[in-house]
Amino acid sequence: MTTIFQLFPLLPWELRIRIWKLISTPRTVMAWAHDYGRPHPPVPSVVQTCRESRHHSGYERFFIEDRPPFYYIWVNLTIDTIHIFEHRLPFQFAGKHRIRYLCLELVHQVDLDNESFRDGWVDVYSNALTDYVAVRSMVVISSNDVGAWGGHVHLYPWPCPLSRVMLVQDGFEKQISGQELVDSLTPQTSNVLQDLK
């Protein structure tokens, strides 16, 4: 018994195109720089099947570097999550304004009570997030407890509403949305936050 559908090329064009679009599944794709020596994310098989599938599957070359050597990954920006590390955030991804789903992994401990960390986060990373204008939801992974964000999470310019920002402890032991964290504060703190808005 064969597992190949040999009549596929004879299907109507519209049906084949619909199949190519439906075959894509959401992935989390690491966006490594070329010089890290990390393995490249695998190219989706639908991209390698034929020209028709490559053209209609929704996958495209997404350039990580905007200078030579031009390193790229294959992504479908309508469904894939782009996973980057904090030190890559300020750099100019060629298509960062088109990323819809972003996962940001923080390498440093989140210590928002430490003024130098807080100022560095605001100056470098938080302000860089404003360039990601198409982000619909975001995951922020940090090695310390999600409670470390405390009453500070609302102070930063996030690229999407706080209800769509998920703060996660490394290993996914604890997670909470930014809005839930703000709502969980004491009523007295919540009133102060409302006055600031």
pLDDT at 1: 60
Beta strands 165-169 and 175-177 are antiparallel
pLDDT at 28: 92
**Does residue 138 carry a pLDDT above 90?**
yes
E strand or H helix at 33, and its extent?
Answer: none
Segment 131-142 shows an average pLDDT of: 90
pLDDT tens profile 6-29: 888 899 999 999 999 898 889 999
Could you give the residue ranges of the DSSP H alpha helices within 23-175?
A: 45-49, 51-56, 115-120, 127-129
Residue type, 191: N
Cα torsion 77, 87, 132, 155: sign: positive
- Residue ranges per structural domain of the chain: 1-26+36-76, 80-197
Residue 132 sits at φ, ψ, to 5 deg, of -90, 75
Q: Which residues of 20-29 are buried (b: 16+ CB within 10 A; e: fewer)?
A: beeebeebeb
Segment 48-62 shows an average pLDDT of: 90
Look up residue 65 and give its DSSP letter.
-
pLDDT at 170: 75
Average pLDDT, the chain: 79
pLDDT at 120: 66
pLDDT tens profile 140-196: 888 777 777 766 777 778 889 989 999 888 777 788 888 888 888 755 554 544 444
pLDDT at 175: 84
Is 77:62 a contact under the CB 8 Å cutoff?
yes
d(CA 163, CA 42): 32
Beta strands 101-105 and 81-85 are parallel
pLDDT tens profile 73-88: 899 999 999 998 877 6
